[in-house]
Amino acid sequence: MIFDYISSFLGAIPAAVIAGLVPMVFIIPFALFAVYWERKVSAHMQDRLGPMRVGYHGFLQTIADILKLIQKEDIVASAADKPLFNIAPVLTFTGSYAAFAAIPFSSAYIGANIDLGVLYIIGVSGLVVAGLLMAGWASNNKYSLLGAMRSAAQIVSYEIPTVIVILTLFSMVGTLNLYELSELQSSNMFNWMIFGGTVTGWKKIVLIPLMFAAFLIIYLTTLAEVNRTPFDIPEAESELVSGYHTEYSGMKFAMFFLAEYANMFAVSAIVTSLFLGGYHSPFGYLGNTIGITWLVPIEQFFWFAFKGIALVTVQMWLRWTLPRLRVDQLMVVCWKYLIPLSFLIFLIVSLLMVL
Amino acid sequence: MKQYISNIYSALATVFIGMKITFKHLFVPAVTIQYPDVRVTLPGRVRNRLYVNMDDCIGCDQCARACPVDCISIETVKSVPGEDLGKTSNGKKKALWVTKFDIDIAKCCYCQLCVFPCPTECIYMTDVYEFSEFERENLVYSYITLTKDEVLEKKANFEKFEAEKAAQKAAPKPPAPEKPAPPQA
Amino acid sequence: MNLYDIIFYLFAIITIVSATFVVFTKNIVYAAYNLLLTLFGIAGLYVLLGADFIGIVQLIIYVGGILILILFGVMLTNKITDVPIKSGVLQVIPASIGVGMLAGILILIVTNISWRNMELTVPESTIGSLGMLLMNEYILIFELLGMLLLIALIGAANIARK
């Protein structure tokens, strides 16, 4: 893909570096936009206005905030474990950045077109958990540690229903490659996995409600994996100050923030490529109609970003709608509801596929 | 099992109801007032910064005595005969030079108790509420109309007059038979 | 030195350096995090050897699961409000005998095997053939392992209920 293209005239090593940095071009503007968007959405849901003074309707507010964060003193608590305290934000961000390698942004750009795309993303998100635990422990602050512990427990248990739903999809399509999966959902909105994929006939009608349920399950579990409300007990402002990043300030805090927003988009991107047709447009492409083929990947990127940001917006919407779950309720939701239901869906879908 | 399914149903249903409500609120006009650009109209009898109209002040010190937090401090100098201080707007004759009329607005509790005793209604509350300062001293407002030199002059005048009176009283004892004058009226 | 070599040495250095740290550091939490790096480096080496599925399973199971469990254990068994968690040096003589024997065996094996040089190719994805093998040839073992894990799970749940 892009690596081959760049390495054809620059050589392999620069190409690797450049191709590795490409998602950064997306993540940083996205994080800036998403922070602004979150503040605006939350403000309007609470009948407020949100940032209004920096730029048109406060559009440059997050840039001003980043400038402020850069200037801030880099405080390390004296009782903290300094090496781990400094590494933790980097590790967390590495975990969420690595996930972007396997996300198919458009038919022309996917960082690494590997056959195990989704599993790879789930694997590297383990680094995020380790980073959070490291941050919480190194801060040497009981709130931070509690937050990190809760976060790890939550992410580890919510990984199970996520993987089962992904397995369900794989039993339907027979590939773990996100690029191929996206290509399978092309040409028509009803080929999207949420509408049963390319299956035809009566099976599709049976599949649609199942796929809707699977979509809901994976959306909820990914929500829990990025520690968003209603599953935000790891950072619960009202009880744990702000969990694992209580002690962080300045750029390290910004790094956690960036990682959180990158993660939000990463999980939305996974859900998009698994269920909502990936980068495919629901209506067909303008580039194909007027005969400009290079327009198609750009349109695909637009659709992918649009779907991803729409899902991120729903995450924000949920955040300002629902209260936080208690720890026991959280575990009940995961172990008593999501896991059995996802198993049930998995069984039924597998049976349907065998029939 | 029935409980289980109804739990799932009620969870989903309540989530969607909540989301509907928050979605509606997305389009409710914001209640925020963009303060420096847009200001609320204050009610008519709002109590904010004190103002003293020195043209009407007779230096009676009643407001300072009424103040529960002692934020008003007034010093006056008696006028010497012959000086005309003018009249207040409601016809009272002024007899005192007000040489100091400071209000420490940082102490003021906006109770309006100083306003009621004023015989000439010269101290009152305005609707100005933006008067923050970087230095606390700047919050001590001085309302006197006299300049520093004038204040000194008035004080000197009064002292001179007092001294003259004292000299008059002290020196010539002889012309004092008219002392037992009957109190007129 | 091409890209493959660079990546290989990167992962190899990560693995070896962090593995030495795991052994020599006295702080248990540092050891655990260095173990994370070691396992991560090994996952990278697996991928470079063309075993992509094993590499990713290594990431999911060891980094995402077992290591988190180890960290949980370390953090919960000690006084969690205290940063210094140290481990001492115990049983030097038996340990060095055991390690020496293991090292001898490993060196013997490494020097005696006739290593084959392989042409550097872009490795094929192994997951399809792996799935076929698991579901056809080794189905009995696969199912038995599944049963074993299920039994362990039920046992754990039973213990947790008491």
* Span A63-99, pLDDT tens digits: 888 888 888 888 887 877 788 888 888 888 888 888 8
Contact A126 C59 (CB under 8 A): yes
Across chain A, how many H-helices and E-strands are there? 14, 0
Q: Which residues from A are below 8 Å from B when comparing CB atoms?
A: 41, 43-49, 52, 216, 317-318, 320-322, 337, 341
Question: The domain spanning residue B96 has which CATH number?
Answer: 3.30.70.3270
Mean pLDDT across A118-135: 82
Q: Which residue of B has its CA nearest to A341?
A: B8
Residue window 15-74, chain B: list those with CB within 8 Å of chain A. Answer: 15, 18-19, 21-23, 25-26, 28-32, 34
Which of helix, strand or coil describes residue A235? coil
CA A119 remoteness from chain centre? 14
Residues C68, C57 contacting (CB under 8 angstroms): no
- The whole-model pTM stands at 0.78
Question: Per-residue pLDDT for B177 more than 60?
Answer: no
Domain spans in chain A, listed from the N-terminal domain onward? 77-354
Q: Which residue of C has its CA nearest to A149?
A: C72
Res C79: pLDDT: 57
Touching subunits for chain C (3+ Cβ pairs under 8 A): A
Closest CA to B91 of B61, B121, B129, B126: B121
Pairing of strands B50-52, B96-104: unpaired
Across the interface, of C33, C64, C125, the residue whose CB is closest to A126 is C64
Long-range own/partner contacts, residues B108-111 (CB < 8 A, 24 or more apart): B108/B50, B108/B69, B108/B71, B109/B68, B109/B69, B110/B47, B110/B48, B111/B47, B111/B68
**Nearby residues of B105 by Cβ (< 8 Å), 6 or more positions away:** B49, B50, B71, B131, B139, B140, B141
Mean pLDDT across A145-165: 83
Average pLDDT across chain B, whole number: 82
Residues B59, B146 contacting (CB under 8 angstroms): no
Q: Which residues of A touch B26 (CB under 8 A)?
A: 41, 44-45
A61 φψ region: left (φ > 0), alpha (ψ -120 to 50), beta (else): alpha
Is there a domain that residue B184 lies in?
Answer: no
Mean pLDDT across A241-253: 80
Tokens 């599953």 -> residue: A231
Task: Dump pLDDT digits (tens) for A93-117.
Answer: 888 888 888 888 877 777 777 777 7
Alpha helices in A46-116 (DSSP H): 61-71, 82-99
C-alpha to C-alpha distance for A173 and A185, rounded to whole angstroms: 10
Task: Dump pLDDT digits (tens) for A162-210.
Answer: 888 888 888 888 777 788 787 777 767 777 777 777 777 777 788 888 8
Question: Per-residue pLDDT for B183 more than 60?
Answer: no
Is there a domain that residue B34 lies in?
Answer: no
Res C82: pLDDT: 54
Mean pLDDT across A293-322: 84
Which of helix, strand or coil describes residue A80? coil
Q: Which residues of A touch B8 (CB under 8 A)?
A: 337, 341
**Residue B123 burial (CB < 10 Å; 0-12/13-18/19+)?**
buried
Q: Which residue of A has its CA nearest to B17?
A: A321
**Nearby residues of C143 by Cβ (< 8 Å), 6 or more positions away:** none
Question: Per-residue pLDDT for A58 more than 70?
Answer: yes
Is there a domain that residue B15 lies in?
Answer: no
Question: Per-residue pLDDT for B85 more than 80?
Answer: no
Tokens 């996952």 -> residue: C43
Across the interface, of A49, A322, A341, the residue whose CB is closest to B30 is A49
Low-confidence residues of chain C: pLDDT under 50: none
Task: Dump pLDDT digits (tens) for A309-340.
Answer: 888 888 888 888 888 888 888 888 888 888 88
> What domain count does chain B have?
1
Res C77: pLDDT: 67
Asked whether A and C share 3 or more beta-carbon pairs under 8 angstroms, the answer is yes
C-alpha to C-alpha distance for C64 and A213, rounded to whole angstroms: 26
Chain C touched by A123 (CB under 8 Å): yes
Res A247: pLDDT: 81
C-alpha to C-alpha distance for B58 and B44, rounded to whole angstroms: 27
Contact B22 A320 (CB under 8 A): yes
Instruction: Give B149's Cβ-side CA count (13 Å radius).
Output: 0
Q: Give C95-140 as a DSSP string.
A: HHHHHHHHHHHHHHHHHHS-PPP----PPPP-HHHHHHHHHTTTHH
Is there a domain that residue B112 lies in?
Answer: yes
Mean pLDDT across B164-175: 73
Is there a domain that residue B114 lies in?
Answer: yes
Which of helix, strand or coil describes residue A236? coil
Chain C touched by A126 (CB under 8 Å): yes
Closest CA to A207 of A221, A224, A190, A183: A190
Instruction: Give B15's Cβ-side CA count (13 Å radius).
Output: 16
C-alpha to C-alpha distance for A63 and A60, rounded to whole angstroms: 5
Interface-testing mutation among B10, B14, B26, B27, with chain A (most A C-beta atoms within 10 A):
B26
Q: Is the backbone peptide bond immediately before A83 cis, with ω within 30 degrees of 0?
A: no
Q: Which residue of A has its CA nearest to B4?
A: A337
Contact A125 C65 (CB under 8 A): no
The helix or strand, by DSSP H or E, that contains position B6, with its residue range, turns out to be helix B2-26
Res C102: pLDDT: 94
C62 to chain A, minimum CA–CA distance in Å?
A: 9
Q: Which residue of C has its CA nearest to A83?
A: C30
Q: Which residue of A has its CA nearest to C63?
A: A126
Using CA atoms in the order C145, C149, C154, C157, what is the torsion angle rounded to 10 degrees?
180
Question: Per-residue pLDDT for B175 more than 60?
Answer: no
Chain A touched by C9 (CB under 8 Å): no
Residue numbers of the domain that contains B128: 50-167
A299 to chain C, minimum CA–CA distance in Å?
A: 30
Higher pLDDT, B85 or B177: B85
C-alpha to C-alpha distance for B51 and B53, rounded to whole angstroms: 7
